[in-house]
Amino acid sequence: MTTEQPRFVILLAEDEPADAHLVKAALAENEIPADLHHVVDGREAFEFLRRQGPRFANAPRPNLILLDLNMPRMDGRECLAALKQDATLRDIPVVILTTSEVERDVVASYHLGAAGYITKSADMLQYLAAIRGLGHYWIGLVRLPHQSQ
Amino acid sequence: MSDAPLRYLSKLLGFAVLYALLGKAVLLFFSTNGIVSVVWPPSGLALAALLIGGQRYFPGVFLGAFLVNIMAGLAPGASVAIATGSTLEALLGAWLLTRRGKLDLDLRSLRSYLHLVGLGGFLASSVAALSGATTLLVSGLLNVGTYWPSVLTWWMSDTLGIVLITPLILVWRRIPRGDWAPQRIVELTLLSAVTVMAGQIVFLGWYSAAFGKIALGYWMFLFKTWTAVRMGIHGVVLLVVISAIQGLWGAGLGVGFFAHDIAKTGLFNYWYYTLVLSFVGMALATYLSERQQLEVSLKDSELRYRTVADFTSDLEYWIMPDGALRYVSPSCKQITGYTADELYADPGLLTRIIHPDDQHLWAEHTHHVTAQGVPKAIDFRIRTKDGADLWISHLCRPVVDDGGQALGLRGSNREISEQKKAEAELQRSHADLRRFSEITAHHLQEPARRMASYAERLGKQLAGKLDDPEARLSLDFISQQARYQQNMLRDVERYLAADQPRGEIALSDARQTVTALLARAQDRISAAGAEITVGELPPAWIDAPRLADLFEIVLGNALQHGGAESRRRRDGAPESNAAPPDGEAAPLHITLDGERIGTLVRYRVSDNGPGIEAQYRERVFRAFERLESGGAGTGIGLAIVRRIAESCGGRAYIDVAQGGGCRVVFELSAKETT
């Protein structure tokens, strides 16, 4: 899958395989040109970002991180806080993708430095539209810094 | 040179001069007819000075005594000998009196007065008289014939000097405190005037035409007694000295009660009279002063205890073994509506106001207290005087005196109607919530079950017709999620019911429970390739179903998370224990055992899996917390374990098994808990 232009890389941290699959399916159905990498919790996200262990030795640096809030071991809140503390990782935009509609979670997420907050909809059409919007915004519209590697 | 030695020296000299002047004055006024042989006030001054200022002032005594004797015309040698005797006397008296702790210089007790008179007066004077006269005898200033009379004279005069003068100085060192109301001042003045007047009549022969035949010495005892009762120590010491002077004066003039005493007894009679008069007055005054102090401290202590008891908001009482009410706090009026007087008159009211429905509780409690004598709290309702029902929390304990004699019961009663109301409210809302949760969990089960059924049905209907792997995946997710929801709802129900027994609570045989569980879980154990060891398993105080739940959940966790599968899933985590290389993991080994620890039984389920990092050991006990993604676990199991353990008087936690594996520990009560 080598192309001239580096592909847009998304890291998805999501513990529920069914939800992870939905994101993958929505990206594919919206034909969003992005590589999706999937980790199951915050700890694994950091292993990915720091290329720890044989599994992540060649992991690319993502252009965008999609973060679920409720995960085992290190949850989305802890992960987001840790990302924003890390000088080498804090410039990667993080969008929260969660079932939680609790206002407190929304406020806390932006406070911690989230770039966006998307509520997973049970309505498949709405869900697809949300992922489509996400793709257009981050890949088509916004200019992100060039990757240093 | 600092001030202190200078000040000491000037005080010393001042005192010597004072002593010499007093001695000179006594000699001037009473030198005739051997009066001096009966009282020598400077000895009293000397003892008082050493008691107040300290024994280091003895050179002042010596100097003063030497001056007096020189001035009286004695030879220097004799003067030194007499002065040495006087100094020794004062030093000995002061030493005897302060030898065992300090003497109360205010003489507020009979005991301190008796000490002063006995040790400082009689004893010290006799030693001084003997040694002084002996010195004079040895140095040839006395001959054998005059030796004994000299000793006696010295002893008598110094003793009376000390008995009269030392208390006067010590007591009047401080201005009398107390009541200075106008009528009291009038009384004091009148009493003093009458006493002095009586002295004039008795001792100096005033109005002898009217009182001559009846003015006898015993009159003065009446006035001294009166003085002791009404004026205290200060009055007595002063008026005794005045009477003594009046007596001497009369004797010198040849009038009054002692008109012929010099000739008849050589003033022996006067000496005894004055000694006894002083003793009676002072003994009475000091005794009364002591009683007065006792009374004050008793009143203070009574006030203290009464305040503590009376100003309580609870209803406090003390009931004697015969049922009589010894004390009830005034707060009884606010609580029961009955006044303390009503309850004192009818102690049975305290029992009768207890609500009819709660009388049996009270009877049971009374029985318990009388049979076992241990304090025990109960709550019951009372019906107040105006018919309202109040909740009371009652606590009592037997009263026992120092000798172990039973003195009835001491009860405390706190009004707790508000708390009871809140408690009932809370219980109702708990019950409501629990019922609602159980119903909800049940109702939520239904759609989940239907979803699972229909997904399965659809899968079967489409079997062979379904080519699209994406569609197959969706269908699988639906079934899986429906099952997951069912599991979750089952666990929520179990969590909510975890603090409620599901059968009779008894001493449950854990070995039997585990044996049955292992038989049930045989398939899962084989699937995990696990090896199980069962150790000692003492019984615990719990219902059998929940004990089975405990072991089932913890064993299930070990089977699910301890195995190689889990290890592979979590291989990213840096584990400190040396895990064998992938695919060659040692077989899962689970050990179940327990031990008695005091009143608890501690059960342990240990595995040789990857263990749980310290930072997660507490977190996994929270509901819905999981350490692994996916899988069938609901994240509620350990929360259920903790809730069951805590409701059975125990606790649950995780530590490290030998070899670094996970060890789940739960403790339960081993005995009936009340």
- Shared domain for B266 and B320, answered yes or no, is no
- Confidence tier at B492 by pLDDT (50, 70, 90): confident
Closest residue by Cα to residue A18 from B479, B398, B643: B479
The per-residue pLDDT for B404 is: 86
| Residue B501 covered by a domain | no
- Confidence tier at B304 by pLDDT (50, 70, 90): very high
| Residue B437 covered by a domain | yes
Out of B448, B472, B496, pick the residue that ends a domain.
Answer: B496
Residue A6 in this model has a pLDDT that exceeds 80: no
Out of B172, B205, B240, pick the residue that ends a domain.
Answer: B172
Average pLDDT value for residue range B603-610: 91
The token pair at B314 is 């609870």
- Shared domain for B137 and B261, answered yes or no, is no
Q: Which tens digit of pLDDT belongs to each residue from A80-120?
A: 999 999 999 999 999 999 887 788 888 999 999 999 999 88
Residue B565 in this model has a pLDDT that exceeds 60: no
- Shared domain for B32 and B123, answered yes or no, is yes
Q: Which tens digit of pLDDT belongs to each residue from A53-64?
A: 888 999 999 999
- Shared domain for B622 and B591, answered yes or no, is yes
Residue A5 in this model has a pLDDT that exceeds 70: no
| Residue B298 covered by a domain | no
Looking at per-residue confidence, does B565 or B362 come out higher? Answer: B362
- Shared domain for B515 and B490, answered yes or no, is no
Residue A49 in this model has a pLDDT that exceeds 90: yes
Closest residue by Cα to residue B617 from B650, B588, B657: B657
Chain A contact for B630 (CB, 8 A cutoff): yes
CATH assignment of the domain containing B165? 1.10.1760
Lowest mean pLDDT among B508-522, B525-539, B566-580: B566-580
- Confidence tier at B583 by pLDDT (50, 70, 90): very low
- To the nearest whole number, what is the mean pLDDT of chain B? 87
**B444: Cβ–Cβ under 8 A, 6 or more apart, which residues?**
B485, B489
The per-residue pLDDT for B143 is: 84
Residue A15 in this model has a pLDDT that exceeds 90: no
| Residue B632 covered by a domain | yes
Chain B contact for A140 (CB, 8 A cutoff): no
Q: Which tens digit of pLDDT belongs to each residue from B176-222?
A: 776 678 888 888 889 899 999 999 999 988 888 888 777 788 888 99
Place of tokens 């609602």: B436
Q: Is A47:A53 a contact under the CB 8 Å cutoff?
A: yes
The per-residue pLDDT for B627 is: 75
- Shared domain for B105 and B13, answered yes or no, is yes
DSSP string over B372-393 = H---EEEEEEEE-TTS-EEEEE
Residue B360 in this model has a pLDDT that exceeds 70: yes
Element (H or E) spanning B341, and its range? Answer: helix B340-345
Average pLDDT value for residue range B622-626: 79
Q: How far apart are CA B195 and CA B277, in angstroms?
A: 13
- Confidence tier at B577 by pLDDT (50, 70, 90): very low
Chain A contact for B481 (CB, 8 A cutoff): yes
Q: Using an 8 Å CB-CB cutoff, list chain A residues near B628.
A: 72
- Shared domain for B439 and B393, answered yes or no, is no
- Shared domain for B665 and B525, answered yes or no, is yes
Q: How far apart are CA B344 and CA B329, in angstroms?
A: 11
Q: Which tens digit of pLDDT belongs to each residue from B19-29?
A: 999 988 888 87
Of B571, B616, B629, the CB nearest to A15: B629
- Shared domain for B335 and B223, answered yes or no, is no
Chain B contact for A44 (CB, 8 A cutoff): yes
Looking at per-residue confidence, does B443 or B321 come out higher? Answer: B321
CB within 8 Å: B630 and A16:
yes
The per-residue pLDDT for B384 is: 93
Lowest mean pLDDT among B161-165, B600-604, B607-611: B607-611
| Residue B674 covered by a domain | no
Out of B439, B466, B496, pick the residue that ends a domain.
Answer: B496
Q: Using an 8 Å CB-CB cutoff, list chain A residues near B626.
A: 15, 72
Lowest mean pLDDT among B93-102, B436-445, B533-542: B436-445
| Residue B479 covered by a domain | yes
CB within 8 Å: B573 and A25:
no
Residue B337 burial (10 A CB sphere; 0-12, 13-18, 19+):
middle
CB within 8 Å: A72 and B627:
yes
- To the nearest whole number, what is the mean pLDDT of chain A? 86
Chain A contact for B627 (CB, 8 A cutoff): yes
- Shared domain for B70 and B140, answered yes or no, is yes
- Shared domain for B42 and B97, answered yes or no, is yes
Q: Considering only alpha carbons, which residue of chain B is nearest residue A20?
A: B630
CATH assignment of the domain containing B518? 3.30.565.10
Query: What is the interface pTM, i.e. ipTM, of the complex?
Result: 0.71
Of A17, A53, A72, the CB nearest to B572: A53
| Residue B302 covered by a domain | no
The per-residue pLDDT for B580 is: 45
How many other CB atoms are found less than 10 A from the CB of residue B657?
22
- Confidence tier at B568 by pLDDT (50, 70, 90): low
**Which structural domains are found in chain A, ordered by start?**
10-139 (3.40.50.2300)
Length of chain B equals 674
The per-residue pLDDT for B576 is: 40
Boundaries of domain holding B530:
506-669
Q: Using an 8 Å CB-CB cutoff, list chain A residues near B611.
A: none
Average pLDDT value for residue range B277-284: 92
Residue B673 in this model has a pLDDT that exceeds 70: no
Residue B607 burial (10 A CB sphere; 0-12, 13-18, 19+):
buried
| Residue B432 covered by a domain | yes
Domains held by chain B: number:
5
Q: Which tens digit of pLDDT belongs to each residue from B126-159?
A: 988 888 888 888 877 778 888 888 888 889 999 9
- Shared domain for B547 and B581, answered yes or no, is yes
CATH assignment of the domain containing B351? 3.30.450.20
Q: Is A48:A35 a contact under the CB 8 Å cutoff?
A: no
Average pLDDT value for residue range B405-425: 92
The per-residue pLDDT for B342 is: 94
Candidates B628, B629, B636, partner chain A, best to mutate (most A CBs within 10 A): B629
